[in-house]
Amino acid sequence: MKKRMMMAVLVGSSLLVAQNSFASAVSITPRASVGINHYSLKWQVSNWGNDTGTSDFADVGDDLLTGGAGLTLAAGKFYFDASFEQTMEGSDDETYDYAYYDTDFDVFAYALTLGYNITGGLSVFAGWNSHETSFTDQFSYTDSVLSALDPLDGETEFSADGWFLGLSYGWNLFEDSTLSIKAAYALLDGDLTSRYDSYSFYSYEGSNTIYYSRNHVTINNDGGDATGMTIGVAWKSYLTDSLSYSITADWYKYTFDDFSGNEITVDWGYDNEGPQQYYDDSSSDVEEESYIFRFALSYQF
């Protein structure tokens, strides 16, 4: 409901821009982009029912190919922009004491922005940003004895969304080229959900035999809040009166404090009592950082 309300506000703002088109000319500029996203995410790992010999802190990152599209409507001093971006799948791995961890992941993001040109090259803008990172994990034992066990599968989903407010400034360096910089401050809500399999090892009294079972664990985090900055620089130049290209570099870093409250569901493989519910009130931090380099083509109608 919260997301729908915020989306409605932004859509309503765009309609105001459209309405203003009766008094001034409206330009419509679609664009397509390709680039590289140097992405990393760090978070606290819960090892409930999971004896893998791994650390308690995950640090995942890779250089991801990314593609996106957007549409800008401009009328007078106002503009409205909608964009989305999807990366190709990347991967990362880590070797621990007696386990090997491998993960594949991708990032999807969209943003809605309403801006106003204050004077000259100075503009103010605000909007809504949402992005989601999906991980597919696999644990494999490297111990000479445990390596005979089947690999353990897992999935992790991290999502964040919220408002941002920023300023931008552009310089017309040549007749058909512009260099601009921007900075924005964001307030985001984050959420982290994990689902994975694990092994439990046990023995019965009076027996020297060690048994094992495969468990299924689901962890839903209550989430956390983040503040962060986005800084970007862009070069734009016209190839024709309507066709232009741009080269951009953006950086953002968000730190989510006090990710707390883990609702844990464990289906223990060694009993038939069904899933058991637990609650862990410990807190942790999540850190997300990205450097994105893009090349885009735009056509103004």
Which range (10-24, 67-81, 103-117, 194-208) has the least confidence?
10-24
- What pLDDT score does 257 carry? 77
- What pLDDT score does 53 carry? 40
- What pLDDT score does 77 carry? 94
Report the CATH number that the domain containing residue 293 is assigned in CATH. 2.40.128
| Assessment of whether the complete model's pTM goes beyond 0.85 | no
Q: pLDDT digits over 159-181, tens only?
A: 999 999 999 999 999 888 999 99
Backbone angles phi, psi at 31, to 5 degrees: -150, 160
- What pLDDT score does 201 carry? 77
Rounded to an integer, the average pLDDT of 262-290 is 75
- Find where tokens 């100075």 sit: 122
Which range (53-67, 149-163, 173-187, 259-273) has the least confidence?
259-273
Backbone angles phi, psi at 77, to 5 degrees: -95, 0
- What pLDDT score does 239 carry? 95
Question: Has residue 11 got a pLDDT over 50?
Answer: no
- How far is the CA of 238 from the CAs of 78, 160, 176, 235, 241, in angstroms? 21, 35, 6, 10, 7
Which domain range does residue 169 map to? 2-299
258: confidence class by pLDDT, cuts 50, 70, 90: low
User: In percent, how much of the chain has pLDDT > 90?
Assistant: 49
- What pLDDT score does 122 carry? 97
Rounded to an integer, the average pLDDT of 48-71 is 74
For 26, the token pair is 């409206």
Q: pLDDT digits over 68-94, tens only?
A: 999 999 999 999 999 999 999 999 987
The most confident of the ranges 3-12, 51-60, 67-76, 257-266 is 67-76
22: confidence class by pLDDT, cuts 50, 70, 90: very low
Rounded to an integer, the average pLDDT of 134-161 is 85
- Of residues 225 and 62, more confidently modeled: 62
Q: pLDDT digits over 190-216, tens only?
A: 888 888 887 877 788 888 888 778 888
- What pLDDT score does 267 carry? 80
Q: Which amino acid is at 79?
A: Y
> How many domains in the chain?
1
Question: Has residue 291 got a pLDDT over 80?
Answer: yes
